[in-house]
Amino acid sequence: MIDHSVLRPESTEEDVKKACGLAVELGLAAVVVNPAHIPVVAASLKGSAAKACSVISFPFGVSTTEGKVAEAKSVLSQGAEEIDMVMNFSALRSGKESYVLNDIRSVTDLAKGQAKKVVVKVILETCYLNEKEKKQACLLAVEGGADFVKTSTGFGSGGATIEDVRLMKQAVGPKVGVKAAGGIRTTQEAVRMVEAGASRIGTSSSLAILKDMT
Question: Which whole number is the average pLDDT over 174-198?
Answer: 97
Tell which residue, 88, 6, 13, 81, has the closest CA to residue 48. 81
Q: Residues with Cβ < 8 Å from 59, sequence gap 6 or more?
A: 86, 125, 153, 154, 155, 156
Q: Per-residue confidence at 16, pLDDT binned at 50, 70, 90?
A: very high
Q: pTM of whole model > 0.75?
A: yes
pLDDT of residue 212: 75
Instruction: For residues 178 and 22, give the distance between their C-alpha atoms in angstroms, rounded to a whole number.
Output: 23
pLDDT of residue 193: 98
Annotation marks residue 109 as catalytic: no
Q: Per-residue confidence at 13, pLDDT binned at 50, 70, 90?
A: very high
Q: Residue 24: pLDDT above 70? A: yes
Instruction: For residues 146 and 86, give the distance between their C-alpha atoms in angstroms, rounded to a whole number.
Output: 12
Tell which residue, 201, 128, 135, has the closest CA to residue 173. 135
Residue type for 5, please? S
Exactly one of 68, 121, 134, 179 is catalytic; which is it? 179
Q: Residue 214: pLDDT above 80? A: no
pLDDT tens string 41-85? 999 999 999 999 999 999 999 999 999 999 999 999 999 999 999
CATH fold, domain 2-211, is TIM Barrel (3.20.20)
Exactly one of 84, 103, 147, 164 is catalytic; which is it? 84
Percent of the chain past pLDDT 90, that is, above it, reads 98
Instruction: For residues 121 and 142, give the distance between their C-alpha atoms in angstroms, rounded to a whole number.
Output: 10
Backbone angles phi and psi of 186, in degrees to 5: -125, 160
Residue type for 85, please? M
Tell which residue, 7, 24, 3, 32, has the closest CA to residue 199. 3
Q: Residue 107: pLDDT above 90? A: yes
Instruction: For residues 171 and 166, give the distance between their C-alpha atoms in angstroms, rounded to a whole number.
Output: 9
Residue-averaged pLDDT of the chain: 97
pLDDT of residue 55: 98
Exactly one of 68, 134, 150, 169 is catalytic; which is it? 150
Residue type for 141, please? A
Question: Which whole number is the average pLDDT over 21-41?
Answer: 98
Tell which residue, 36, 39, 109, 123, has the closest CA to residue 81. 39
Using a 10 angstrom Cβ sphere, with 0-12 exposed, 13-18 middle and 19 or more buried, the burial of residue 199 is middle
Question: Which whole number is the average pLDDT over 171-197?
Answer: 97
Annotation marks residue 150 as catalytic: yes
Question: Which whole number is the average pLDDT over 32-43?
Answer: 98
DSSP state of 87: P
